[in-house]
Amino acid sequence: MRTVTADEPTVQGEQPPHRHRITLEDYHRMMEVGLLAPRARVELIEGEIVDLAPRSEAHRRVVMRLEALLRQAVGTQASVLSPAPLRLGADSEPEPDLAVVRTPADAHRNARPTGTDALVLIEVSDTTWHYDHDLKVPFYARHGIPEVWLFDLSRATAHFFRGLAEGHYTDETATDRPGLTFLPGLTDLAVDLSGLLPTA
């Protein structure tokens, strides 16, 4: 049997396999009818269902600590969500670890927050650095999220993505000693991230 290599020319007129993408409506219908388990660790990114990595104990501790710090910092000026599913377009519902969003005028609104509600999204990466950094951060930029914080636990480093312009972040900073950090869209509000990351 002959092995076909990737660089061989395709047969004239040959079409690549069609990838069927689903809508946000399809995604929620799958949940409603039980095709996706109620507690399934998944998210919808540009029409594709992505399995999320299991949370480690270190990941859980950092997320819980961040949530407490953020809630204390924002008070009633914003809402802190964790988990934080967001509706981004007609075919995406990512679930960042945390989101700081504008508190809706209607406190009883049942709809998921959207990109226009978000002030900052936060991802905590333990074993998912490339997925979070290479796929999700650019994805958030394309959907107009003003700011993203990415905490890389494997390297004990915090990355901040700011300066959104034309669907890209123009300012990325990284530090292994995050400290007082201002929250976008909230006047003079900051959160102290000192001691958040694991140390050697």
For residue 1, pLDDT over 90 is answered with no
Give the CA-trace dihedral at 162, 140, 98, 81, to 10 degrees: 110
Which of 149, 141, 146 minimizes the C-alpha distance to 97? 149
Sequential DSSP letters for 35-57: SS-TT--EEEETTEEEEPPPPPH
- The pLDDT value given to residue 84: 85
Domain that holds residue 128: 54-192
* Weakest mean pLDDT among 2-6, 43-47, 78-82, 182-186: 2-6
Cα 12 to Cα 4, 9, 16, 17, 158: the distances in Å are 16, 9, 12, 15, 49
pTM of the model: 0.86
Judge whether 19 lies within some domain. Answer: no
Residue 144 corresponds to which tokens in the numbers above?
A: 């107009």
CATH number of the domain that residue 124 is part of = 3.90.1570.10
Judge whether 113 lies within some domain. Answer: yes
pLDDT tens digits for 9-30? 545 666 555 567 899 999 989 9
Judge whether 159 lies within some domain. Answer: yes
CB atoms inside a 10 Å sphere around CB 153:
19
What total of structural domains would you count in the chain? 1
Sequential DSSP letters for 128-170: -HHIIIIIIHHHHHHTT-S-EEEEETTTTEEEEEEEEETTEEE
Judge whether 81 lies within some domain. Answer: yes
Judge whether 43 lies within some domain. Answer: no
Judge whether 125 lies within some domain. Answer: yes
Region 64-80 average pLDDT: 95
Residue 198 corresponds to which tokens in the numbers above?
A: 């694991």
HSE-CB at 48 with a 13 A cutoff on CA atoms is 6
Judge whether 200 lies within some domain. Answer: no
| Sign of CA pseudo-dihedral 97, 101, 103, 107 | negative
Judge whether 96 lies within some domain. Answer: yes
